Amino acid sequence: MRPTASSAGELNARIVVSVLTAVLLGTGVIETPWALSKLTADGTRARAVIPALRTDAPAFQTDIPRDYLAAAQATIPKHASYYVDQGPKYVSGNPLMAPSVKPVTAFELYPRRPLTEPQPGAWLICYGCDLDRWNGKASFSWEEGPLAIGRIEP
């Protein structure tokens, strides 16, 4: 029996599909180890960079000044408590940033303990607050515009 045109076409299609499958599988066998080694190398590099950026990562995501965070880390002892008084004087380019000031500060200053209310003897971080409000109640050791770090008087 002689093959018909349609069965010959099906045979050719099967051959083409088989050849393409073999080529793709061969490429996968060759390329997969290379791709996996590249992913591993990229992951290793990323893990090496992440600790270096840890202290600045939240500040990059918001526009909280990194110098303020660095000054707070250098000024407030690791065992101390602090209160963040956030006021309207610090104008940010991003209005959505305001709710993130306290969480980002707490993240950056860990293991220091944030307070929900000011307490005598605790550290004070004034983030755009009215400094006059603290006149006679706190002494500031670091000031930069509307940002200040000091100690609440006992």
Domain ranges of the chain: 1-53, 58-152
**Secondary element (H or E) of residue 32:** helix 5-53
Distance (Å, whole) CA 147 – CA 116 = 19
Return d(Cα 82, Cα 121) in angstroms, integer.
Answer: 9
Are 54 and 131 in contact by the 8 Å Cβ rule? The answer is no
Q: Which two tokens stand for residue 73?
A: 């880390």
* Distance, CA of 111 to CA of 2 (rounded, Å): 85
Cβ atoms of 59 and 65 within 8 Å: the answer is yes
- pLDDT per residue rounded down to tens, the chain (154 residues): 555 555 666 777 788 777 777 666 665 555 566 655 665 665 555 555 555 555 555 545 667 788 888 999 999 999 999 999 988 877 666 767 778 888 888 988 999 999 999 999 999 999 988 889 999 999 999 998 889 999 999 8
User: Is this prediction's pTM over 0.75?
Assistant: no
